[in-house]
Amino acid sequence: MKYRKKPVVIEVEAIQWTGKNHEDIIEFLDLRPDVLEVRFRSGILYIVKEKELLVTQPGLFIVWENGNTDRCFADDFEREFEKLI
């Protein structure tokens, strides 16, 4: 017999960096314990973590998953995630 592995459902929180939504980004990242500092410069978002610096250009998504903040290209995000209603 053949079987198909059931898909794993993982809920994530995310926000897209538009280059203009500074306050929304700060509010979203303020609750993340792995984020030490958030900086904005010339339309680029810098997320300072303990052992990593995430450089995020407008259009990328900031994703909170399993206790970790990361970034994701918009086309990858739209292919991998769907909005919960």
pLDDT over 70, % of the chain: 100
- Could you give the number of structural domains in the chain? 1
Residue partners of 39: CB distance under 8 A and separation at least 6: 45, 46, 48
Q: Where are the alpha helices (DSSP H) in 1-85?
A: 22-30, 74-80
> 66 lies in which domain range?
13-80
Q: Is residue 24 part of a domain?
A: yes
Domain membership of residue 64 (yes or no) is: yes
Look at residue 59 and tell me if it is in a domain: yes
Q: Per-residue pLDDT tens for 33-71?
A: 999 999 999 999 999 999 999 999 999 999 999 899 999
Answer whether residue 65 is part of any domain. yes
Within a domain: 5: no
3 domain residue, yes or no:
no
What are the residues whose beta carbons fall under 8 Å from the beta carbon of 13, sequence distance 6 or more?
28, 63, 64, 65
**74: in domain:** yes
Q: Model-level pTM?
A: 0.86
